[in-house]
Amino acid sequence: MNVLIYDTEEQIGIAAGNYMCGQVLQKPDSVLGLATGSTPLKPYNQMIDLYKRGVVDFSQVTTFNLDEYVRLNVKDKNSYHSFMHENLFDHINIPEENINFLNGNAEDLEQECKNYEKKIKAAGGIDIQLLGIGSNGHIAFNEPADCFQRWSHVVTLKESTVKDNSRFFTSIEEVPTQAVTMGIGSIMQAKKILIIALGKKKAAAIKQLIDGNVTPMCPASVLQFHTDVTLMLDKEAASLL
């Protein structure tokens, strides 16, 4: 694993945004796997900045987001659909039809998950998957569990994740308790992975990811088996290494 440690979140934002854009410069029709949460905000700002400065063109790019809440209106400000539009898609030129999400409002969620996998495959697979990490070691909504879930699936969120995410909602009761998420196999099939972690509360999960046993109790630890992983960490997230 390529472990890069930076002084500030700003520096990580620039480095990570440049890394994503570098992929697009090299292959204009890249397939990008994207993430939500507070971690990717600065990388997305950098991608927007490079686009606005005419450095990079996203017109041939396709995206797949990692996950979405179940039964939350996509227009709700807390849907990942809204998040991505507000923080990235509304400011760059990815054609709307190239933007893909798991539909958490699909009638048949199991079928929706199967279709999503087919779409990723039909697009040629993901070139770079951007990931955050949960304080409990989750990636996307793959929560600590007894076994790894391979493909996209419906998941009931752990209490700790509901609590972590409640900061975006008015009250914890409003946080959906289910989500649809890419599986560990979907993520592991990405050609490259860029994982970012900020802050002390990610330090234990990062230590386990890098040095620990590979176990579904820390889903991110499976990344030890991927051949092209870059980690961008601030000093706090790297403090236990």
Question: What residues line the site for ligand PGA (CB under 6 A)?
Answer: 37-39, 132-134
CB of 134 to ligand PGA, least distance (A): 4
Q: Which of 143, 153, 164, 234 is catalytic?
A: 143
DSSP element (H, E) containing 5 = strand 2-6
CB of 107 to ligand PGA, least distance (A): 27
Report the residue number, 33 or 134, with the smaller CB distance to ligand PGA. 134
HEC per residue, 142-179: ECCCCCCCCCCEEEECCHHHHHHHHHHCCCHHHCCCEE
98 among known catalytic residues: no
Q: Which of 65, 78, 98, 136 is catalytic?
A: 136
49 is written with which tokens?
């900045």
Q: Which of 65, 67, 142, 165 is catalytic?
A: 67
Q: Which of 81, 98, 127, 138 is catalytic?
A: 138
Report the residue number, 115 or 224, with the smaller CB distance to ligand PGA. 224
Residues 168, 233, 166, CA angle at the centre, nearest 5°? 15
The set of residues, in sequence order, having a beta carbon less than 8 Å from that of 168 and lying 6+ positions away, is 78
138 among known catalytic residues: yes
Residues 60, 88, 18, CA angle at the centre, nearest 5°? 70
CB of 37 to ligand PGA, least distance (A): 3
Q: Please state the separation of Cα 69 from the chain's center in Å.
A: 14
Report the residue number, 132 or 189, with the smaller CB distance to ligand PGA. 132
Catalytic machinery residues: 67, 136, 138, 143
